[in-house]
Amino acid sequence: MSRSHASAGTSGADGHASPTAGTTVHVRVLRQDAPAQESYWERHDVPYEPNMNVISVLQRIAAAARAKDGRRVAPVAWDCNCLEEVCGSCTMLVNGRTRMACTALVDKLLEENPEEIELKPMSKFPVVRDLVVDRGRVFRALERVQAWVPVDGSYDHGPGPRISPEQQEDAYPLSTCMSCGCCLEACPQFTKIEVHQRSGESVEQLAQRRDEAYDDGFVGAHAISQAVLFNNHPTGKMIADERMTALTAPGGIQMCGNAQNCVAVCPKQIPLTRSIARAGRAATVWAIKKLFDR
């Protein structure tokens, strides 16, 4: 096998310097066998192929099941599904940056760092194994802000409300949020909450204690943006007060430190800071209104 350097390539059709076949991609993965265990680095070499992304690198690692030093190792565990950047599964830290592994192209990564590709699990969520983390808190936050339209039911009541093209264009980008968690990983106010099972504790008790712990933490940019989405929907706004109650509760919008990292890392370019600003203004109006309603 060639040991020549990955970056020693020729000029590709698109004009970039890209590695050629026969070269090797060096990969360093931060592994962890299970929750509450020590993490450790492991190096892998993967034969370079054109148009590789991090997913195909991980697929090659799984198939080879050998570390760079030749030791037989268990395949690296990771989450993925659609591989088209619409399902939100494959979030990880690639070269230190939170992003989707499916759109992390090897050629581009080697431009960032020709030496190696570094893969780490997200740091704000409990590690399940290797690159797999438990993002249940992302979905729990959607429950907190009641991110849904409160319809009567699924029986036929004719069409939904008339919506102007402007309203649709406003709502659509917010509705493309795939709960990937990038905005949370990048947020300084969103800190890791990890709840371990106590001896004698049932799965149900653990789940309840975990949800309570999550509910004390910052709800996150994604959930604030969803609250804005539904508070601006003609039917969704019928429970706007309940969403505002959730957004102004501890762990709500006041925790946002305006670092604006969320919008910078969102793979779907959702205007998260705009949503936060809108929610902030709405919270102020709502607080004043509540004061006078008393």
Partner 1 sequence: MAQPRVLVIGGGLAGLSATMRLAELGVEVDLMSLVPVKRSHSVCAQGGINSVNSLTRQQGDTEWKHLDDTVYGGDFLQHQPPVKEMTDWGPRIIDLMDRLGVPFNRTPEGFRDQRRFGGTLYKRTAFAGATTGQQLLYALDEQVRRFEVEGKVKKWEFWDFLQPVLDSSGRCRGAVCQDLVTMQFRAFPADAVILATGGCGLVYGRSTMSMVCTGSAVSRAYQSGAAYGNGEFIQVHPTAIPGADKLRLMSESARGEGGRVWVPRAPHDPRDPREIPEAERYYFLEDRYPKYGNLVPRDIATREIFDICTTDGLSVEKDRLCVYLDLTHIPRETLDRKLGGILEIYEKFQGVDPRSVPMKIFPAVHYSMGGLWVDYQRSASGGMEEGAPKNQQTSLPGLYAIGECDYQYHGANRLGANSLLSCIFSGLFCAPGVMAASGSLRTLAAEESKGLFDAALRRQEERHEALLARRGGNENPYTIHNELGDLMTRVATVVRRNEQLASAYDDVCQLEERWQRCSLSDTGNWTNQNVVFTKSVGDMFPLAKLILKGALLRDECRGAHYKPSAAMPGIAATEPSAQRLEAEEWCDRFEANTRRWLKSTIARHGADGHPQITYEDIDTSLIPPRPRLYGLVGGDVIEEVWKERQRKATAAQAESPRATDSALPVGAAS
Using CB under 8 A, which of 22, 112, 172, 250 touches partner 1? 172
Determine if 38 is a binding residue for partner 1 (CB under 8 A).
no
Contact between 210 and partner 1 per CB under 8 A: no
Q: Which two tokens stand for residue 128?
A: 């399940």
Interface segment toward partner 1; rule CB under 8 A; list 2-10, 84-92, 181-189, 253-261? 84-92
- Is residue 139 near partner 1 by the rule CB under 8 A? yes
Mark the segment that binds partner 1 (CB under 8 A) among 44-52, 241-249, 257-265, 274-282: 44-52
| Region near partner 1 per CB under 8 A, out of 104-112, 183-191, 255-263, 270-278 | 104-112
Q: Which is nearer to partner 1, 63 or 288 (CB)?
A: 63
Q: How many residues lie near partner 1 (CB under 8 A)?
A: 73
Give the residue ranges of DSSP H helices in 196-239. Answer: 203-216, 221-231
Among 36, 82, 264, 285, binds partner 1 (CB under 8 A): 82
Token duo for residue 284: 């102020």
Task: Answer yes or no: are the C-beta atoms of 224 and 146 closer than 8 Å.
Answer: no
Please work out, in degrees rounded to the nearest 5, the angle formed at the alpha carbon of residue 144 by the alpha carbons of 90 and 87.
20
| Distance (Å) of CA 194 to CA 80, 186, 217 | 22, 18, 11
Contact code string over 248-267 relative to partner 1, x by CB under 8 A: --------------------
Q: What are the helix (H) ranges across the chain?
A: 54-64, 106-112, 136-144, 165-175, 182-185, 203-216, 221-231, 240-248, 261-265, 272-293
Half-sphere exposure of 45 (CA within 13 A, CB side): 14
Residue from the set 1, 3, 10, 14 that interacts with partner 1 by CB under 8 A: 14
CB 124 to partner 1: min, Å: 17
